[in-house]
Amino acid sequence: MKQTLCIANQKGGVGKTTTSVHLAVGLARKGERVLLIDLDAQSNASSVFSESSSKNGLDSFLLFSEKVPIRELITPTRIDGLSLLPASSKLSQIDVLLSGKMDGFFVLKEALETVSNDFDWVVIDCPPSLSLITMNAFVAATGLIVPLQISKFSLDGIEAILEAKNHTVKRFNPDLKILGALLTLFQQRTTMSQTVVPMIEEHLRLFESKIPPSVAVEEAHLLNQSLYEYQPKNKTTKAYQQFTDEVYSFGG
């Protein structure tokens, strides 16, 4: 396995799921074997692949609640090379179930070790919180990507992300590295952008790619499609392809 990538931000509405989906699809389009893991109880990433979403209750909740082997929960998608571990609304119960358990932080890491030869990349879409389930993703990951929008509230959240990452490195996963922050819904010419970008760069490396806003994103979600399928020539689609190229260069 080349990389296990965690897409995380405790703030919602920053393009976390859109980034997870399009990174996973983009890597698969390069001929890589990719596993997309949906750990968000809202199941938005899973809904893009409605044909592969949870059936008969086989989803990531069972991985944590009953330690069902991950291989039994993974399903192929319509995208060649891309598999999915779908989410469930029951994931909101995981913190209570894992709290106090000695191995509570390591469930996902141990599960992924059993399929390490099956995939080149794993992309994990985390819930918008620094919960136990997010910490499972941090412990399992080799790289952390932080989607951000240009706002004061995004700046406020960076410190919490860095603190959680440093805690994980110190106690559980010394291999975890922050690959960078990805600016989403980005408009270059605004005063806010010109002011806030240097402030973000004081704390996090920024990807060269910036994701512009586009109504096509919501339209594609409504149709349960990726941008690559819905509008392959859209400016946001091209920006996600450029971002995928950047991440791919970390593969090795």
CATH code at 86? Answer: 3.40.50.300
pTM of the model: 0.95
**Start-end of H helices in 151-234:** 152-171, 191-201, 215-222, 227-230
pLDDT at 41: 94
Lookup: tokens for 174: 């010394």
pLDDT of 12 > 70? The answer is yes
Say how many domains are in the chain. 1
Of 21-30, 67-76, 147-156, 199-208, where does mean pLDDT reach its minimum?
147-156
The 8-class DSSP code of residue 90 comes to: G
pLDDT at 1: 79
Amino acid identity of 88? S
pLDDT at 34: 98
What is the C-alpha separation between 69 and 82, in angstroms, rounded? 19
Q: Catalogue the E-assigned strands of 70-205.
A: 75-76, 82-85, 121-125, 143-148, 177-183
What do you get for the CA distance between the two ends of the chain, in Å?
Answer: 10
**Which residues lie across from 160 on neighbouring strands?**
none
Categorize the per-residue pLDDT at 192 as very low, low, confident or very high, splitting at 50, 70 and 90. low
Structural domain for 172, as ranges: 3-250
Lookup: tokens for 155: 């700046």
**Which residues lie across from 122 on neighbouring strands?**
4, 35
